[in-house]
Structure 1
Amino acid sequence: MTKAKMNLGEGSIGKLLINLAFSAIIAQIVNVLYNIVDRIFIGRMANGEIAMAGVGVAFPLLMIISAFSALIGMGGAPLAAIKMGEKDNDGAEKIISNSFSTLVIIGVLCTIVFLIFRENLLFAFGASEATIGYAMEYLTIYLLGTVFVQIALGMNPFINTQGFAKVGMYTVVIGAIINIVLDPIFIFVFDLGVRGAALATILSQFVSAIWVLFFLFSKKSILKIRKEYLIPDFKVLLSIVALGVSPFIMQATESIVLISLNNQLQMYGGDLAVGAMTIMSSIMQIVTLPLLGLSQGAQPIISYNFGAQNIKRVKRTFKLLLISCLVYTITMWASLMIFPEFFVGIFNKKPELIEITAWGMKIYFAGILIFGAQIACQQTFLALGQAKLSLIMALLRKIVLLVPLIFILPSLVSEGNKLMAVLCAEPISDILAAITTVIVFTIFYKRTFTKNVEDNSKIT
């Protein structure tokens, strides 16, 4: 038995979660820098608030691209971990190899389709005549690196799920450092503007993709990409997509949310309100991605031990994950309510943009204090292979609640309060979805854990 396997099955859960989650959190925080550093430098350009609004309009398409990487990566990685727990490494390697070839195919298709329809999509997503030029410049160059994005984001979970969290962290750190160094050079020194920001991003993703592939083809990796498994197997691919559809929906629907918000904010607040949402969505990434890092740290432990039928370790890992997520979101909620101007000032120093964004943040982020409970439960569904439940919970917050409320609430208030009503949709949906998810998790998993314990008792 390898050291990685032994630790997942027998090591201290607290130490395992700290080691795996720390690396995953650092990776997620650094991953945020890809987009946030772009926006920080873009915000300091001439007409920075308009340029940032243009990039913000393009961002939903970037989220759709990353959602496809989550479809395959976050769908395949838990299945590979479960196979490892069942001592079926050959089955795990078939999953990882199928995932790689599928990600390449998706990357090529996304590049072609989005390049053809990019202008129409950007106008539909809330671009104005003032922002369309910036949005087109950024998106066109970014799309040329779509295959690199798919490989870097989609294959990295297969490194983490084997217990090599530090290697997975380096994937993101290396790319982010390159992005941070190249951004000011391309944007200001070479005077490429938003095109320079996009170019820096895809070059950094290219290096990250090379790093991931180098490791997965190396002797250090427990699981290898095998050429005999590169031709997609429909049955394997179906199981990957079935599990990955939940994180795909989570990210893809986030783009739908941003499209809806941008359109409504453009209607009631103009380009300045769209620019404010670009900043708030960046801050939302800062809040949510470390949560995903925590859950990614817990995922290999939960998936491996569920496959090994060690239910006690699954339950203990979830409880620790839940507490950690709640402590984090409560802390972030307090910080955002007390110091909103500090967070806004990272991106732009113009008083009018700071004023509207700081005001909007106190509304938009009011419900995140219990958001940690939803993420912990939803990601545990995913780690246990419960694709349907995870999908339902993913759809609940954004599609069932948030998107309709973005359009309904403004129609219920007077003219002067419509902008506030649009922002109120976020905390209302956050609170209702978190409460529902916790209730569903409690009901279904008390039954699941009890059944597994009874079955194990009968066997022994």
Structure 2
Amino acid sequence: MNQIANELSTEKVSSLLLKQSIPASIGILVMSINMIVDTIFVGQWIGVLAIAAITVVLPIGFLISSIGMAIGIGGSSVISLALGADKVEKAKKVFGNQISLTTLSSLILVTLCLVFEEYVLRLFGANGNILEPALPYFRVIIIGVPFLAYAMMGNPIIRALGKPTYAMIALILPAVANIILDIIFIKALGWGMFGAGLATSIAYAVCGLFILGFLLSKKSNLKIGLSYLKLEKSIVSEISSLGSITLVRQGTVSVLTIILNYSLFKYGNESSVAVFGIINRLMMFIFFPVFGIVQGFLPIAGYNYGAELYDRVKDVLNTANKYGTILCVFIFIAVYFLNYEMTAVFTNDEELLKQTPNAILTTLLATPFIAFQLVGASYFQAVGKAKPALILTLLRQSIFLIPFIIVLPMFFGLDGIWFSFPISDLLATVVTYVYVKKEISLLKN
């Protein structure tokens, strides 16, 4: 623990941010490549409807596993603050409670999804001809979701412990496994959507088991006994307070997915749902370095805030915003010039090649400005301030984006859906700037 404390509290902020962010970025890159390759294989070897089916099913799995993410991010913030205040025993209790909460919640939700599978799929937009390929994919992938929940729970803890390389490996292993298994199950064995789902489900298990194995080993400094698994009301409350931000965000994403898929089907067709599936995969891929900066920023800000080193907190916030904005400008330039080529990687379907490039460009028009939004919202979560973190998280994906997706297509059709994204991003960035500026002015060493 002393080595971690020395690094997080004394090392040059720019170097420390890169040290934390680069492994996170590489891990996210590999994970996003995995998602892209998965979609490419499905699109090229099965068809357009298969892309639409994946677009419908994956948000269901991520909603369930997001409980693990919420528990992980909320708990990792508590752990960072506890380690900053030299409260190691509390950090261990928090970790034990995280394991118990993740196990109970994910198993209950997976069971409900299996019992009401067709209803759940239709709710998330499996309309028209999408339901048929979605069913076999859903049935097998949902079994692996508890492992994904463990992975999402554990990865933020690994970063909070100052072990970003292990967090990176945890994302690389399942990505490699999924790509290899996709080739075997879909191409070689011809198992179609079942094979695609089985490959992803096994990959989730690889990731979840690796992360749990690491955290329960001596390497993590959080090795615990069975007594730490007993839920404590005060710790659960603290985890929930901060984790609810992530859970509400992911829940909002699910509501957004439902509304978005219905709107895309209403104002377009099954192909329009597939268009957004491609855009969604691309966004995960092209923004990987920015997401990496945000992930690297969290433990540094949380630890130094807990240690009351507020100048370092301001420094890492400014540095993360600067690096993130520079990256976003380069990302937008690439999108502007290469949107057609990006689409052609996924499919040779004429309808998708016609719709997707313009939709990509329109959706990502506000890219140069969104780094501040992402880092700013994460700041409040890192320092344990749940209310402003929740408000800023909801701005884009609920308060702004959902109403725009409902209203704008009434006047502009399918284009109205795509323009909803940059408008929401710009508004959310302005509000985030106001919040963060006010908060930083109150920090004094």
TM more than 0.5: yes
**Pairs aligned (count):** 445
Q: Match of 2:230?
A: 231
1:2 aligns with 2:2: yes
1:115 aligns with 2:110: no
Counterpart contact for 2:65–2:146, Cα < 8 Å: no
Distance 2:224 2:64 in 1: 23
Query: Which moved further from structure 2: 246-255 or 196-205?
Result: 246-255
- TM-score under structure 2 normalisation? 0.97
Distance 1:356 1:24 in 2: 33
Q: Match of 2:415?
A: 420
What is the 5 A alignment of 1:324-335? 324-335=323-334
What is the 5 A alignment of 1:312-323? 312-323=311-322
What is the 5 A alignment of 1:111-260? 111-260=110-259
Counterpart contact for 2:34–2:176, Cα < 8 Å: no
Counterpart contact for 1:81–1:162, Cα < 8 Å: yes
Q: Match of 1:361?
A: 360
1:57 aligns with 2:52: no
1:265-284 superposed Cα distances (whole Å, 9 cap, x missing partner): 10111011111111011112
AA at the equivalent of 1:240: I
The alignment-based identity, stated in percent, is 29
1:60-118 superposed Cα distances (whole Å, 9 cap, x missing partner): 21231232122100100011011001010000000011001111112211210111222
Q: CA deviation at 1:215?
A: 1.4
Q: Match of 1:458?
A: none
Q: Match of 2:22?
A: 22
Aligned partner (choices 429, 434, 442) of residue 429 of structure 2 = 434
Aligned partner (choices 412, 423, 441) of residue 446 of structure 1 = 441
SS at match of 2:190: coil
Q: CA deviation at 1:134?
A: 1.1
Counterpart contact for 1:60–1:256, Cα < 8 Å: no
AA at the equivalent of 2:439: F
Q: Match of 2:290?
A: 291
- TM-score under structure 1 normalisation? 0.94
Counterpart contact for 2:314–2:440, Cα < 8 Å: no
1:335-367 superposed Cα distances (whole Å, 9 cap, x missing partner): 112210121122112232111001211211112
Classify 1:247/1:25 alpha carbon distance in 2 versus 1 (closer, same or farther; 3 Å): same
Distance 1:127 1:204 in 2: 24
1:105-143 superposed Cα distances (whole Å, 9 cap, x missing partner): 122112101112221122222222311011111111111
Classify 1:163/1:269 alpha carbon distance in 2 versus 1 (closer, same or farther; 3 Å): same
Counterpart contact for 2:66–2:149, Cα < 8 Å: no
- Where does the alignment leave 5 or more consecutive residues of structure 1 unmatched? 454-460
Distance 1:26 1:264 in 2: 34
What is the 5 A alignment of 1:23-102? 23-46=23-46, 48-102=47-101
Q: CA deviation at 1:326?
A: 1.0
SS at match of 1:403: helix
Distance 2:358 2:12 in 1: 44
Counterpart contact for 1:67–1:249, Cα < 8 Å: no
AA at the equivalent of 1:340: N
SS at match of 1:145: helix
Distance 1:74 1:37 in 2: 27
Counterpart contact for 1:8–1:301, Cα < 8 Å: yes
Distance 1:341 1:9 in 2: 46
AA at the equivalent of 1:164: K
